[in-house]
Amino acid sequence: MNFKHFVRTAAAAALVAASASASAGYVVLDGWQLQTPTTSTPNIGRLNLTSGTAVVEQQVNGLGQAFVGAKFTETGSIYSLTYTKENVTGGGDFGAPSMLGDMLTISFSNVAGKVVALNPGGGFKYQFTSGTFMMSGLGGAYASGSIVGLGGNASSTAVIGGFNGDSTLLAMVLNTLNPSFAIKDSLGNNLAADMAMGKVLFQAVTNNNTTGFLGTGACSFDATKVCSKVTVASGGDAYLVRDIPEPASIALAGVALLGLGVARRRSAKK
């Protein structure tokens, strides 16, 4: 293998390693814009989520408690959206919510999941195994995505298969169903491509409160199992966040580009 081929091969390997490296985290995007067929809203700091009441059917053991591997379903969770204007760098925006002219809502369908871990002192972590979300308004359906594999952390006390606690959920928008719908950054750049690649996500931070107990009986999804049914009200905030690569990824990419440059210079001298 000659030097030029070796450097190019090593550089390509470094680029692959850089792209495969995990991200370091997410940074909140400030002052982004939302466009729909009936409204254009700039300078959004965060979305405010206000929901109706959902019904959660949770598999439980003989003590009426959730356990690792226990399945659940959820129906009726619909968020109405308002927003708070950008006024603080980062995610610390405050002030009275402002109405979105399009009466936007987020609805969920075919939602099911399972408990993946129990938290010390009560509560549990969960993960969705099926489910999609849809954002819609006066102009129809705008955007949709899958929630499979996502989840949250019900950090407080489990209540007969339900829970009270905070959850953080990162959601990827997979489809834009209406061409007049667009999400842009503060400079007006369309974020559709970055959202499709998972570089820009919605991060929803919600508080889930068990508001009523509807009884215990056979699970609708498996008559041989026991489930409790509770009503749950959720509310919270949603932010637009951008993926930040690890420093190691940036360094690997730099090494790769340097290697390609060396190979080109040696090739040009021949």
Which DSSP string do the residues of 142-170 spell out, in sequence order?
EEEEE-TT-EEEE-S-EETTEE-EEEEEE
Two tokens at 13? 């390997």
Strands (E), the chain: 23-28, 32-35, 40-59, 71-75, 78-85, 98-99, 105-118, 124-137, 140-146, 151-154, 158-159, 162-163, 165-171, 175-176, 182-184, 200-219, 222-245
Gap between the Cα atoms of 45 and 236, Å rounded: 14
- Render pLDDT for 162-206 as a digit per residue (tens, 0 to 9): 445 566 666 777 777 888 889 999 999 999 889 888 888 888 877
Buried b (16+ CB within 10 A) or exposed e, 28-58: bbbbbbbbbeebebeebbbbbbebeebebbb
Q: How confident is the model at residue 213 (pLDDT cuts 50, 70, 90)?
A: confident
Say which residue, 124 or 256, is predicted with more confidence: 124
Q: Is the pLDDT of residue 249 over 80?
A: no
Q: How confident is the model at residue 257 (pLDDT cuts 50, 70, 90)?
A: very low
**In this predicted structure, which of 2-6, 110-114, 207-211, 228-232 has the lowest mean pLDDT?**
2-6
Q: Is the pLDDT of residue 90 over 60?
A: yes
pLDDT (mean) for 50-67: 87
pLDDT (mean) for 145-172: 64
pLDDT (mean) for 108-122: 86
Q: Is the pLDDT of residue 25 over 60?
A: yes
Q: Is the pLDDT of residue 92 over 90?
A: no
Coil, helix or strand at residue 112: strand
Nearest to 73 by CA among 122, 157, 123, 129: 129
Q: Is the pLDDT of residue 9 over 60?
A: no
Amino acid sitting at position 77: S
Give the helix ranges, DSSP H, for the chain: 3-20, 192-196, 247-269
Q: How confident is the model at residue 1 (pLDDT cuts 50, 70, 90)?
A: very low
User: Residues of the chain with pLDDT > 70: what percent?
Assistant: 74
User: Alpha carbon of 178 to those of 57, 60, 61: distances in Å?
Assistant: 33, 41, 45
Backbone φ and ψ of 118, nearest 5°: -105, 140
User: Residues of the chain with pLDDT > 90: what percent?
Assistant: 26
